[in-house]
A and B are shown apart, each in its own frame.
Chain A
Amino acid sequence: EPEVTQTPSHQVTQMGQEVILRCVPISNHLYFYWYRQILGQKVEFLVSFYNNEISEKSEIFDDQFSVERPDGSNFTLKIRSTKLEDSAMYFCASTADGPNTEAFFGQGTRLTVV
Chain B
Amino acid sequence: DQQVKQNSPSLSVQEGRISILNCDYTNSMFDYFLWYKKYPAEGPTFLISISSIKDKNEDGRFTVFLNKSAKHLSLHIVPSQPGDSAVYFCAANSHPYSGSARQLTFGSGTQLTVLP
Contacts and interface: CB of A to CB of B under 8 A. Distances in A.
B100 A56 contact: yes
Given A44-B106, A100-B32, A100-B51, A91 B101 contact: no
Nearest to A55: B101
A110 B42 CA distance: 10
B67 interface: no
B103 interface: yes
A104 B49 CA distance: 13
A48 B49 CA distance: 20
Contacts of A42: 106-109
How many residues of B sit at the interface, in one of the four size bands?
A: 20 to 34
A35 to B, nearest CB: 8
Nearest to B4: A42
A105 B43 contact: yes
A95 B102 contact: yes
Nearest to A46: B103
B44 interface: yes
A48 B43 contact: no
Interface residues of A, number: 30
Q: Give the secondary structure class of A's interface.
A: strand
Contacts of A33: 101, 103-104
B96 interface: yes
A43 B44 contact: yes
B96 A56 contact: yes
B89 A103 contact: no
Interface in B63-116: 89, 91, 93, 95-96, 100-109
A102 B34 contact: yes
Contact of A102 (B49, B89, B106): B49
13 contacts: A4-B43, A31-B101, A35-B104, A50-B100, A55-B101, A56-B103, A93-B104, A100-B93, A104-B46, A105-B36, A105-B44, A106-B43, A108-B42
Interface of A: 4, 6, 31-33, 35, 41-45, 48-50, 55-56, 58, 91, 93, 95, 99-100, 102-108, 110
